[in-house]
Chains A and B, each alone.
Chain A
Amino acid sequence: MGETPHRSAHAGTGGHPVTLGHERSAGASARVAEAPVSPRTPDDDRGLGGGGGLPRARAFGAERAFRGVTLAAGVAVLVIIAAIAVFLIAKAVPALRANSANFWTFEGWFPNDDPPTFGIGALAFGTVLTALLALLVAVPVALGIALYLSHYAPRRLGTALGFVIDLLAAVPSVVFGLWGRDYLVGPVADLSAWLNRYFGWIPIFGDGPYGNSILLGSLVLAIMVLPIITSLSREVFLQTPTANEEAALALGATRWEMLRTAVLPYGRPGIIAAVMLGLGRALGETIALALTLGSTYAISFNILANGGNSIAANIANRFAEANETGRGALIASGLVLFAITLVVNITARAIIYRRREFTESAA
């Protein structure tokens, strides 16, 4: 429905005109009748159908105006995304030019020095590593809880617990960060010492000092994204058509077989969407990581030792002391984060859109 529902002057003459001559002879009276409402010339009557005495879309009417306003709002979204990229680049380029080290490989962050040196390598590495570790922990657990809430728990309990999980998904990240820094540090340090003692031969479980490590940051992140992934995938699982589940059960499937053959395949696009959303959250998480990571600038696979950093946490930690170049450097790192999340998001959306065509599932 593009415009005002379309009418023209041919209703009285029996619908669409067959010939021009016929239209002129029969429609003359109708045209006279509607003349005061919207005057127009005969060759304006190209429309379909009929209906005399009704106004057509005006060039400057409320309809056009409203449509224009909504169009402007739609365009505003595109403008904002473009503006984010443009302004970040505009502020990042001077700092990148002043940088006397290699931006991609240098491990360190001294943009306030003269000459300024800073590099994104360790930060990007830490961002991706913490996010992936967090997802590795959170996704199986979250899917387990989602399945429990949707298919194992008694209905009342499932609804109530689902509500609680939804509420936990809304808890601000700074609260999780504070909790991780004040309370999870102890248990994680113990766990680190234990892992190092018995599994120290695996390179990622290296020697400590234990404390604000990548492991701590990843676990806090995992606990944070857990409710988000759970509540999204629970909704997806609940949408599985009952007929599919009952068909599986009627064929003699056990409950797990029913989940595996009916529920999980149906919910796959939704699960991918939930995981990707969780990944986006984990990649961009700032405060929880700023409070729990050790803020070092080295690429190290040792997830137990003090250290680790992420782009977002680095921005939060170093912003207060940054000068002109320092801000530019932080904005440049933010640009890299923007690019990473943009790629992740676009990939995820492309997967979902393509899958949706096949499965017609809500994602």
Chain B
Amino acid sequence: MTTTLTPRRSRPPAQPASLRARRLPGYAAPALAALALLVAAGIVYGVDLGGPVLVVVLGAVLYLAGLFVAANAVEGRRSARNRFWSALIHSALVLAVLPLASVVWTLVSKGTARLDGDFFGSSMNNIGARDANGGAYHAIVGTLEQVGIATAITVPLGVLCAIYIVEYGRGRFAFTIRFFVDVMTGIPSIVTGLFVLAFWVLIVSPWFNDGQPGFSGFAAALALSVLMLPTVVRSTEEMLRLVPAPLREGAYALGVPKWKTILRVVLPTALPGIVTGIMLSIARAAGETAPVLLVAGGGAAINFNPFENNQSSLALFVYQQAGEASKYSPARAWTAALTLVVLVLVLTVAAKLLARRNRLGR
């Protein structure tokens, strides 16, 4: 192959200076950026098109164009493309970091306003539009209970389903289950809420609730478990597939039956990864508003019983406070949002750290 490789363009005879391709000097990029900004400012303020934001945007566009032209003239087309795309990719980062940073900043600065004992120690019961106090105790209780029940339902079901797919399932049927687990990942949360509304709240619960639809925390937990199930199945499935085959074969060789191999050898090996997946799905479920809104009822009082009467949740509390007219409700909404984000992030960080310690890396 080496003999057939001929250069496309004939170069001048080898001389150290001309062997190196011509390159834009190091100061070219910043100089171009400054020039682009100046030109943009001139255009924007000269024709009176808009404000400083437009100057930056137009400046960025001019900089990209100028960089391409300059590099094209000095370094050639391929290098110009390289520089252009590199600049574009870097600007994508800036473009995305701005709003995300704004979200985080707003959350922290607004959320700390009501971060007091009262917020975590009281509910919204008997809190009128003119009362500045009131808190999210009932919502925190609701979130913990609903997510707890949902986890208790989902984890056994999801892990067993994953075991079936990986260890026992064969052929078309297992493939179908796998396919529909994938499809289930994409079911919107509001649809699971509607499903539990139609199935549990409107049809099943009236049997033992004097014919009245029974909104409850348990219904919310059902909806959340439908949401969590595909995540748990998928992550468990991936982890089980990572367990090395020799471990299984060793157990079989010792005469251990298959079910015992799965429970005593395969599951413990994959456990950290499975726990990571479960924690991530819990974090997602804790932040869901829509299903809770439809089936939990959203009461303002503290209710420890998830099987009877309305319950709220942190996410629902944020939504309710966001819709209220009281001038004190935005502060409550932001503080509840901060609490919720902290809860979710703690779970996520713990899950990621656990994943890092996992010996079954990809």
Interface residues, chain A, CB within 8 Å of chain B? 1-5, 54, 62-63, 65-67, 69-78, 80-81, 83-84, 87-88, 90-91, 140-145, 147-148, 152, 163, 166-168, 170-179, 181-184, 194, 198, 223, 226-227, 230, 254-257, 259, 276-277, 280, 283-287, 290-291, 312, 315-316, 319, 327, 330-331, 334, 337-338, 341-342, 344-346, 348-349, 353
Contact = CB atoms under 8 A, between A and B. Distances in A.
At the interface, is chain A mostly helix, strand, loop or mixed?
Answer: helix
Interface in B137-187: 156-158, 160-161, 163-165, 167-170, 174, 176-177, 179-187
B180 A77 contact: yes
B191 to A, nearest CB: 5
B90 interface: yes
B96 A226 contact: yes
A167 B107 CA distance: 14
A166 B348 contact: yes
26 contacts: A1-B258, A66-B259, A66-B263, A67-B168, A67-B259, A70-B168, A74-B161, A74-B169, A77-B229, A80-B184, A84-B226, A144-B93, A152-B86, A166-B348, A170-B284, A175-B103, A178-B318, A184-B99, A230-B96, A257-B82, A280-B185, A283-B188, A285-B188, A287-B289, A346-B183, A349-B183
B252 interface: yes
Contacts of A345: 182-183, 185-187
3 shortest interchain CB distances as A-B pairs: A284-B188, A144-B92, A172-B287
Contact of A175 (B168, B186, B294, B340): B340
B63 interface: no
Contact of A148 (B49, B89, B176): B89
Given A77-B177, A284-B191, A286-B290, A171 B203 contact: no
Contacts of A182: 106, 330
Given A91-B202, A148-B90, A254-B78, A69 B160 contact: yes
Contacts of A81: 180, 183-184
Contacts of A183: 102, 106
Contact of B186 (A66, A286, A344): A344
Given A62-B259, A337-B188, A152 B160 contact: no
Interface string B308-335: 0000000100110010000000100110
A227 B344 CA distance: 15
A270 B161 CA distance: 25
A259 B89 CA distance: 12
B93 A148 contact: yes
B85 to A, nearest CB: 4
A215 B189 CA distance: 23
A197 B51 CA distance: 14
A173 B184 contact: no
Interface string B64-89: 00000000000000110110111011
A73 B157 contact: yes
A154 to B, nearest CB: 13
Nearest to B294: A319
Contacts of B79: 254
Interface in B179-227: 179-192, 194-195, 197-199, 202-203, 226
Contacts of A287: 289-290, 293, 315, 319
A63 B186 CA distance: 34
Given A74-B177, A88-B191, A277-B186, 10 more contacts: A5-B252, A73-B156, A74-B164, A74-B174, A167-B349, A175-B337, A223-B103, A284-B191, A316-B190, A345-B187
Contacts of B189: 284, 286
A2 B170 contact: yes
Contacts of B348: 166-167, 170
A178 B197 CA distance: 26
Nearest to A353: B179
Contacts of B179: 349, 353
Interface of B: 49-50, 54, 78-79, 81-82, 84-86, 88-93, 95-96, 99-100, 102-103, 106-107, 156-158, 160-161, 163-165, 167-170, 174, 176-177, 179-192, 194-195, 197-199, 202-203, 226, 229-230, 233, 252, 255, 257-260, 262-263, 280, 283-284, 286-290, 293-294, 315, 318-319, 322, 330, 333-334, 337, 340-341, 344-345, 348-349, 352
B50 A194 contact: yes
A84 B195 contact: yes
B198 A254 contact: no
A290 B320 CA distance: 12
Nearest to A291: B322
Given A73-B164, A80-B229, A179-B103, A174 B194 contact: no
B100 A87 contact: no
Contact of B93 (A83, A145, A331): A145
Contacts of B182: 345, 349
Contact of A4 (B191, B258, B263, B337): B258
For B81, B93, B160, B188, which residue has the most chain A Cβ atoms within 10 angstroms?
A: B188
A344 B186 CA distance: 9
Contacts of B85: 256, 259
A26 to B, nearest CB: 24
A139 to B, nearest CB: 11
B259 to A, nearest CB: 4
For B49, B90, B199, B203, which residue has the most chain A Cβ atoms within 10 angstroms?
A: B199
A83 B195 contact: yes
Nearest to B337: A175
Contacts of B345: 167, 170-171
Contact of B202 (A223, A290, A327, A337): A327
A77 B348 CA distance: 26
Contacts of B93: 144-145, 148
A62 B198 CA distance: 38
Contacts of A338: 187-188, 191
B247 to A, nearest CB: 14
Contact of A331 (B92, B198, B283, B330): B198
Contacts of A140: 92
Given A81-B184, A171-B344, A284-B191, A255 B82 contact: yes
A223 B348 CA distance: 20
